[in-house]
Amino acid sequence: MNEEDRAAAGAQPGRRERNKQRVRSRLYSSAMQLFTEKGYEQTSIEEIAEAADVARGTFFNYFQHKEDLITAWGDSRRSQLRQGLADTEADGADDLRSTLERCMGVLARVNEAEREMSRAMLTAWVKAGRPLIEEPYAGEIFAETVEAARTRGETRPAVEPRQVGNFLRDGYLGTLYRWCQQEKVDEGDLHSELLALTEIVLSGVTLSRA
């Protein structure tokens, strides 16, 4: 076996690590299903462990508290957003408008595909005070996009990327929260509202080309 083969082999997780990953994934998936069906507050750790077919004590090997599952949900959404952007990056232009519209499109697709889970987890996230104590998972991505656009000269020089990123993130969460609480929604409603939000922000930060 040459060095490259050994390096590749070393990069693969061992059996124990794979088993740990499977158990953690099973706990997470079971929790998300129960939260969606019953609600976050109505679901106990015992029920999550039972649904995942593990002992109650095993839960604490992976999550110290039930609230840690909220963080895991946020991390999952961040990963889905970044992966979605990477998947669509080669299909369009990389200017600020195109990138933000792709970002909003990914967010809309993810939430529309898992609307009931989004409703349950967003409510839990807000009640747990996570918007105040956690780094906003979408805000940092929005800020990176605005910073790249400012470097290219697309925005007004005075624009502060992190401030715009947080504004977009707050607008996104507010839009998402209202959409989740509606009893009936039509396909594409969330995407349309997020594009409208994007247009409002762009009108304030981009340079006029007239």
Q: How many Cα atoms occupy the beta-carbon half-sphere of 48 within 13 Å?
A: 30
Quote the pLDDT of residue 85. 84
Per-residue model confidence (pLDDT) at position 184: 87
Distance from chain centroid for Cα 49: 25
Find tokens 């889970």 and name the residue: 117
- Residue ranges per structural domain of the chain: 1-64, 67-210
User: What pLDDT does residue 6 have?
Assistant: 44
CA angle, 134 then 135 then 136, to 5°? 105
pLDDT of residue 13: 75
Q: Spell 34-69 as b/e; 16+ CB within 10 A means b.
A: bbbeeebeebebeebbebbebeeeebeebbeebeeb
Instruction: Tell me if the domain spanning 67-210 has CATH number 1.10.357.10.
Output: yes
For each successive 10 residues of the chain (210 residues), what is the average pLDDT? 46 82 96 95 96 96 94 88 81 83 92 92 83 67 92 92 92 91 88 95 80
Please say whether the structural domain 1-64 has been given the CATH code 1.10.10.60: yes
- Cβ-proximal residues to 185 (8 Å cutoff; 6+ apart), any chain: 115, 179
pLDDT at 82: 86
Rounded to whole angstroms, the Cα distance separating 100 from 202 reads 9
Q: What is the pLDDT of residue 10?
A: 52
Count of Cβ atoms closer than 10 Å to residue 185 Cβ: 12
Burial 113-128 (b: 16+ CB within 10 A, else e): ebeebbbbbbbbbeeb
